[in-house]
Amino acid sequence: GDSVTQMEGPVTLSEEAFLTINCTYTATGYPSLFWYVQYPGEGLQLLLKATKADDKGSNKGFEATYRKETTSFHLEKGSVQVSDSAVYFCALRQGYSSASKIIFGSGTRLSIRP
Amino acid sequence: GAGVSQSPSNKVTEKGKDVELRCDPISGHTALYWYRQSLGQGLEFLIYFQGNSAPDKSGLPSDRFSAERTGGSVSTLTIQRTQQEDSAVYLCASSLSERDYEQYFGPGTRLTVT
């Protein structure tokens, strides 16, 4: 079945450091890919998405590019802030012809030191 | 406008008891999803409802779990004869339709089975 694998956490960085959180997927067809974020004490929220190969999703300085050849959707940010501390989930969702459930990776906890 | 709400926010129950968890989706959203977030399993899909269609129950872990959605709005997830492995955060999400990429998540119900 479909699955998502993301790098183990926790990841601890200093403020203004460069961030990469790796994510690879296994899926049939052409799923949509997502990054969700869960800030401390808050609900899960969509950070960015890409719906087809070579699309780049971006939001709040974060970016991720849908790479079909490497089945990857790595999350990057050039300069992280303390407020980026959260748990990040890579996820996929199949198209309209099948169930719309989201399949999540295990999550990566990110902590940013001032 | 109001987001997805869930109640209770926390529930502690004894092993063997039944529990009911409630989800109020965003008004007008036709699709509703239940997920479970636990330490050992990450975020996993449980069940989803779309309009008047039969729900997709493929993620329910056992027949002790059931869910219903009344009037196309509020949903209740019921766990019968709770076990300690049922301890988790139960998340509800809704989307405008099955075709809507973004699912909006509630804050979750933390269930602890003692």
Distances (CA, A) of B76 to A107, B1, B8, B9: 27, 22, 11, 14
Closest CB to B31 among A42, A100, A106 = A100
Q: What is the pLDDT of residues B57-110, one digit of tens each?
A: 889 999 999 999 988 789 999 999 999 999 999 999 998 866 666 788 999 999
**CA within 13 Å, CB half, A88:** 30
Amino acid code (one letter) for A84: D
- Sort out which chain A residues have CB atoms less than 8 A from B98's CB and list them: 96, 100
Closest CB to B42 among A42, A100, A104 = A104
The answer to whether the Cβ–Cβ distance between A43 and B4 falls below 8 Å is yes
Query: Residue B2 above 50 pLDDT?
Result: yes
The answer to whether the Cβ–Cβ distance between B105 and A32 falls below 8 Å is no
The answer to whether the Cβ–Cβ distance between A99 and B56 falls below 8 Å is yes
Closest CB to A101 among B3, B4, B56 = B56
SS (H, E, C) B43-62: EEEEEEEECCCCCECCCCCC
For residues A41 and A96, the model is more confident at A41
Query: Residue A95 above 70 pLDDT?
Result: no
Tell me the average pLDDT of chain B. Answer: 90
Query: Residue B36 above 60 pLDDT?
Result: yes
- Strand A62-65's sheet: what is its strand order? A19-21, A75-77, A62-65, A56-59
Query: Residue A63 above 80 pLDDT?
Result: yes
- Sort out which chain A residues have CB atoms less than 8 A from B91's CB and list them: 43-44
For residues A82 and A7, the model is more confident at A82
Residue A82 main-chain phi, psi, to 5 deg: -55, -35
The answer to whether the Cβ–Cβ distance between B102 and A43 falls below 8 Å is no
| Residues sharing a CB contact under 8 Å with residue B37, sequence separation 6 or more, in sequence order | B43, B44, B88, B89, B90, B91, B108
Least confident of A25-29, A60-64, A84-88, A108-112: A25-29
Closest CB to A99 among B58, B95, B105 = B58
Q: What is Dmax (Cα atoms) for chain B?
A: 39
Beta bridge pairs of residue B105: B93
- Assess A1–B contact: CB distance below 8 Å, yes or no: no
* pLDDT value of residue A97: 38
**Among residues of chain A, what percentage have pLDDT more than 70?**
95
Min Cα separation B70/chain A (Å): 20
Q: What is the pLDDT of residues A37-57, one digit of tens each?
A: 999 888 889 999 998 899 999
- Of the candidates B42, B44, B69, B47, the one whose C-alpha atom is nearest the C-alpha of residue B58 is B47
B8, B76 contact by CB (below 8 A):
no
For residues B93 and A101, the model is more confident at B93
Q: What is the DSSP string of B10-44?
A: EEEE-TT--EEEEEEPPTT--EEEEEEEETTTEEE
Q: Region A8-28: what's the mean pLDDT?
A: 94
Tell me the average pLDDT of chain A. Answer: 91
- Assess A49–B contact: CB distance below 8 Å, yes or no: yes
Least confident of A81-95, A96-110, B15-29: A96-110
Residues making up chain A, counted from first to last:
114
